[in-house]
Structure 1
Amino acid sequence: MLRFSRLTAVAISLSVALVTPTIAQDRAQSLADIRQELSMLYVEIQKLKTELSTTGAGSIATGTGSLTERVATIESELSRLTGQTEQLQFRIDSIVKDGTNRIGDLEFRLVELEGGDVTKLGETSTLGGGEVPTAPAPAPAPAQPLATELAVGEKQDFDAAGAALEAGEFEEAATLYATFIETYPGGPLTAEAHFQRGEALTGLGDIKSAARAYLNAFSGAPNSDRAPDALFRLGNALGGLGQISEACATLAEVGKRFPGTPAVEDATAARASLGCQ
């Protein structure tokens, strides 16, 4: 709990350091923006509710002919309906996850704008109440683990941004990753996209924006394989911004949270260069 509180404090310090000095002047506008986003979420929820209402057009064809033919027809219809149910379940779960994350972000922003204590915010309740249901589904084929998880074109868009980053086209890469994050929020590659966007922004020399990207990468997937690197990059970026105390605390968390990972050695060297105690 102490480690989590320290890291939370670092994240809050980063948010304060990155906010522009004119936040007080923009307060009314920001609150209006947040209210607008809440209204948009409400509209999306209403759309989902309409999908729970029947249209009166439902019908099931049991076929004609022999008993064997009718049984085959019914089995085919059951297979079709099962497939549709699984697709709808996946879509609803994705919306619930994305909506819950967005509401949590709005709660944080509202408390921050009102001058409240963001460290006392509890865990955001799941959109719709209760736990996100998980529908039983057969295990995916080992050769295609991402086939049922990635949206159409998601991997292609991600690879396009990666190609730009590898070619040293940092501005284009940062733009492509930002578009990817907006297009596929909450996807399996979103946290990695935040991290890679941080790399592109670092290449551009925009350390402040890079720090935000690394923070998003870590907070979006704090237990992923990329998390140690994201936390190290965040601490390193804080040091580059002159936030030495926050940088030292963040870099120390790398070793505490992810002992034995390569990022620990990098974090130790960065702490030494910053003169951390």
Structure 2
Amino acid sequence: MRRLLVALALVVWPLAGSAQDRAETLADIRAELTQLGGELSSLRSELMTTGAVARPGGSTMLERMEALELELMRLTGRTEELELRVNRIVADGTNRLGDLEFRVTELEGGDPSALSSPAPLGGDKPAAASPAAPKPQTAVGEQADFDRARAVLGQGDFRTAEGLLAAHAAAWPNGPLTGEVLFLRGEALEGLGETAAAARSYLDSFSSYPDSPRAPEALFRLGRALGRLGQVHEACLTLGEVGVRYSANPAEALAQAERAALACP
């Protein structure tokens, strides 16, 4: 049976974040390629009518065009290199997320063979290639149902709250409240002593909404649940990822305390 290292399944997110911080992004390079291509076309047209006339500073238009072509070749190579790297990261992260799904399904007592292949991380196109998607709007009745479920959870009726939250997630799978709903469902399942199912809900909350306000704590709760299920090694690695991805977030201190309690190396 396969053995999952949870931190390996999560490594793609810090990598993706650091890649976004690089000054030279794929979008920047593509824009520069377009600009250079236009400049080359302009120079070629000018050469056809005027010839290789010397420019101030001793360079000719032909020399300038050759220099631009060399730069164009360099940028094209750089773009291909970055695209290959991004594709490797997406493929690796998708595989590792699938392994995590497999492991959590095992812990829940489900049938891992029934799992479908996970969708590629980031979708079919890079975010820079398409306009920013509008923020989802709260549907009629969505907020009211959420408030009711949260109130029931606050009253300690974990079973009823879990049912309401599960129904909410099914009714509005991509709603603006769904990340919070999945997190609260994890809390309800923990209250019922169903730790494996709670781990699944925390995983769903974090993996589906990694940039939501609840994501740091969902990742911490996932690590803590794994520890309580006896998966200490995986728990330590998962808890360590909280500080890597969400440095200075209050969940980082919680994760460090839990790592100490588990005697993580």
Q: What TM-score do you get using the length of structure 2 for normalisation?
A: 0.58
Residues 162 and 185 of structure 2 are in contact (CA less than 8 Å); yes or no, is this contact kept in structure 1? yes
Residue 199 of structure 1 pairs with residue 187 of structure 2 = yes
Could you tell me how far apart the structure 1 residues matched to 2:200 and 2:133 are? Answer: 32
Could you tell me how far apart the structure 2 residues matched to 1:170 and 1:21 are? Answer: 21
Letter of the 1:18 counterpart: T
Residues 235 and 251 of structure 1 are in contact (CA less than 8 Å); yes or no, is this contact kept in structure 2? yes
- Structural mapping, 1:18-37, within 5 Å: 18-19=105-106, 23=111, 27=113, 30=114
Residue 11 of structure 1, CA deviation: 7.0
Q: What is residue 252 of structure 1 aligned with on the other side?
A: 240
Could you tell me how far apart the structure 2 residues matched to 1:252 and 1:123 are? Answer: 23
Are the structure 2 counterparts of residues 161 and 224 from structure 1 closer, same or farther at C-alpha, using a change threshold of 3 Å?
Answer: same
Spell out, residue by residue over 1:186-223, the C-alpha distance to the aligned partner (whole angstroms, 9 max, x if none).
Answer: 00000100000000000000000000000011011111
Question: Pick from 74, 85, 102: which aligns with 1:15?
Answer: 102
Q: What is residue 186 of structure 1 aligned with on the other side?
A: 174
Question: Pick from 113, 123, 141: which aligns with 1:153?
Answer: 141
Letter of the 1:125 counterpart: D
Let me know the Cα RMSD of the aligned residues: 3.1
Spell out, residue by residue over 1:56-105, the C-alpha distance to the aligned partner (whole angstroms, 9 max, x if none).
Answer: xxxxxxxxxxxxxxxxxxxxxxxxxxxxxxxxxxxxxxxxxxxxxxxxxx
Q: What is residue 124 of structure 2 aligned with on the other side?
A: 125
Could you tell me how far apart the structure 2 residues matched to 1:199 and 1:258 are? Answer: 21
Question: Pick from 4, 28, 36: which aligns with 2:11?
Answer: 4
Residues 191 and 221 of structure 1 are in contact (CA less than 8 Å); yes or no, is this contact kept in structure 2? yes
Residue 149 of structure 1, CA deviation: 1.2
Could you tell me how far apart the structure 2 residues matched to 1:210 and 1:22 are? Answer: 14
Could you tell me how far apart the structure 2 residues matched to 1:186 and 1:245 are? Answer: 32
Report the structure number with the largest CA radius of gyration: 2
Could you tell me how far apart the structure 1 residues matched to 2:247 and 2:167 are? Answer: 34
Question: Pick from 109, 113, 117: which aligns with 1:107?
Answer: 117
Residue 218 of structure 1 pairs with residue 209 of structure 2 = no
Spell out, residue by residue over 1:128-156, the C-alpha distance to the aligned partner (whole angstroms, 9 max, x if none).
Answer: xx847758xxxxxxxxxx9x811110000
Letter of the 1:108 counterpart: P
Letter of the 1:207 counterpart: T
**SS of structure 2 residue aligned to 1:107:** coil
Are the structure 2 counterparts of residues 200 and 124 from structure 1 closer, same or farther at C-alpha, using a change threshold of 3 Å?
Answer: same
- Percent of counterpart pairs with the same letter? 42
Residue 259 of structure 1, CA deviation: 1.1
Which structure has the higher relative contact order (CA within 8 Å, separation 6+)?
A: 2
Residues 206 and 215 of structure 2 are in contact (CA less than 8 Å); yes or no, is this contact kept in structure 1? yes
Could you tell me how far apart the structure 2 residues matched to 1:175 and 1:190 are? Answer: 14
Residue 275 of structure 1, CA deviation: 1.0
Gaps of 5+ in 1: 32-105, 110-120, 136-145
Q: What TM-score do you get using the length of structure 1 for normalisation?
A: 0.56
Residues 10 and 246 of structure 1 are in contact (CA less than 8 Å); yes or no, is this contact kept in structure 2? no
Give the number of aligned pairs: 174
